[in-house]
Structure 1
């Protein structure tokens, strides 16, 4: 879908772009229930089209400066990727089953570790390339310029450092991966950057962990708000020497209200209210992200190529990977 960008009028008060989620629970519920029924009728074959329908709704309901984002991926593209992803996973599980039946447990463990080390960065890279290539706003396409080999080397190094430190290095691993991945995302000619620090994130989580235990779980809402703030506040977008900075305004009390009410909605509707709970979450996220800076959005140029191979995205979905 090509959208026409109308520049804002010159002069007047300085205003910053705003994110807004306009979707409603009723429409989202309709999409989810139809998707579920068609997936059941087709024994899961419809799943790629179901994902495409869901993403189309979520993207079109998310607006920046009153213009919606567009997801142009198709169910057919995702279906082709889905078949490839299922084939790869099926071969892996068959090999693991054969090794286990032959009592070659150490070999099965080595194969499992090698698979994780290879498939996770492969899936992340492919998912980033496909999903961002199929995302646009006012006709300007997003893109991902990371190198698969570089990401694999980074992931293997960070993974082993996390293993040999009994998980302590996990905060550095997550931040280094986010720095690399987000640093390679483009919004047309605009470049995203992320400057997360492993030590800061480690301290944030250690504090959150112990305070959550001491307060019998109550501090967990503030812990989540602090993590959300750290994810958002360290991100910038630059173009032509100008920069946007992102800032979270969400508090622990607001997170508590969101999560507890969502839980009540889902429980007391026996799960039917899940769509409304998700919509409340999307709206909450958009309402609590502020964008400040001097980037002029109409100066963004189309620079990113299309990429239609959805296998990485389907693998990431199957492995439940969500780094960004």
Structure 2
């Protein structure tokens, strides 16, 4: 008997064709290996299209209309940047002058760190504008320069505080990203605070060893609830939040069965694990009736549709 109160709540649904996904999954892995990674954009786009059309909101599926060709351009640029980074890093190790080592290592590290916000921005922008539901488009209105400096300043603060600032760093990034997302006439805010995430992580650090890892299931539950329950949705000045209706037992069963499937199948059951995880997570997310799904409408926002050279997207 299900004692959970789902009155006036809607849930996401995830319906998928298992055999189709198995073929797509192993085809993506095989071709990516055979092509030394060059097939990655086609694999990623195909998988994203599959997951989008398998995700159902009020009997209508989402659709991703992006193309691998667009992603491939960014992928090549990223490979070149990574190659340059490793060139500086390799040179720093073989440099005959030891004084050059810190300088070359710093350059390689800076290049690597600098491309992360570019990838985040480019991926969010591309995925948002190419994801539709009933023809209604998502938008990402964030500024690359704002995200760039927020990322670098947060990273620097994390370094100066010996990692203590990490929960605040991740939370502030999430606040910025979610506050700049739009879905038709819906806007979003993230109301979580770094202190909440900090205590979730502190409890895990102390309780994980003392419970021989058993506390992991409570940790995963609290982490998911922190990320989902703190998303506030605004529709025509009416605000509500998503709710993650999940119990520790749900996490335990999902994790243990997934682990057993992977171990006893020597990894071949990974497609089943992915599908059952997506299905479970979709069923856990509940949407209050105050969000009028039938009244979600397309909205026009001032965005730059043309991609910048450094709008790196990995989808």
Q: Same fold (TM over 0.5)?
A: yes
Which TM-score applies when normalising by structure 2?
A: 0.90
Find the counterpart in structure 2 of residue 242 from structure 1: 238
Aligned 8 A contact 2:92 2:102 in 1: no
Find the counterpart in structure 2 of residue 157 from structure 1: 153
1:208 to 183, 204, 208: 204
Structure 1 stretches lacking a partner, 5+ long: 1-13, 318-324
CA distance in 1, matches of 2:192, 2:30: 42
1:53 to 46, 54, 60: 46
CA distance in 2, matches of 1:169, 1:53: 37
2:296 counterpart of 1:303: no
2:163 counterpart of 1:167: yes
- Secondary structure of 2:287's match? strand
2:140 to 129, 137, 144: 144
2:66 counterpart of 1:69: no
Find the counterpart in structure 1 of residue 279 from structure 2: 283
Find the counterpart in structure 1 of residue 195 from structure 2: 199
Aligned 8 A contact 1:175 1:197 in 2: yes
Aligned 8 A contact 2:186 2:296 in 1: no
Displacement of 1:208 after TM fit? 2.1
Aligned 8 A contact 1:221 1:255 in 2: yes
- 1:305-324 to structure 2, matched below 5 A, reads 306=305, 312-314=312-314
Aligned 8 A contact 2:204 2:215 in 1: yes
CA distance in 2, matches of 1:198, 1:247: 19
1:122 to 103, 118, 127: 118
- 1:4-43 to structure 2, matched below 5 A, reads 15-43=8-36
Find the counterpart in structure 2 of residue 321 from structure 1: none
CA-to-aligned-CA distance 1:217-244 (integer Å, 9 cap, x gap): 0011111100000100000121211234
- C-alpha RMSD over aligned residues: 1.9
Task: Report which stretch shifted further, 237-246 or 128-137.
Answer: 237-246
Displacement of 1:129 after TM fit? 0.7
Displacement of 1:311 after TM fit? 5.4
CA-to-aligned-CA distance 1:77-105 (integer Å, 9 cap, x gap): 11112111111111221122223221422
- Secondary structure of 1:312's match? coil
Aligned 8 A contact 1:24 1:276 in 2: no
Aligned 8 A contact 1:38 1:46 in 2: yes
- 1:215–1:41 CA distance, 2 compared to 1 (3 A): closer
Aligned 8 A contact 1:223 1:252 in 2: no
Which TM-score applies when normalising by structure 1?
A: 0.87
- 1:258-273 to structure 2, matched below 5 A, reads 258-273=254-269
Structure 2 stretches lacking a partner, 5+ long: 1-6
CA distance in 1, matches of 2:152, 2:29: 37
1:252 to 248, 263, 268: 248
Aligned 8 A contact 2:8 2:289 in 1: no
2:222 counterpart of 1:222: no
Displacement of 1:126 after TM fit? 1.1
CA distance in 1, matches of 2:205, 2:45: 37
Aligned 8 A contact 1:133 1:142 in 2: yes
- Secondary structure of 2:313's match? helix
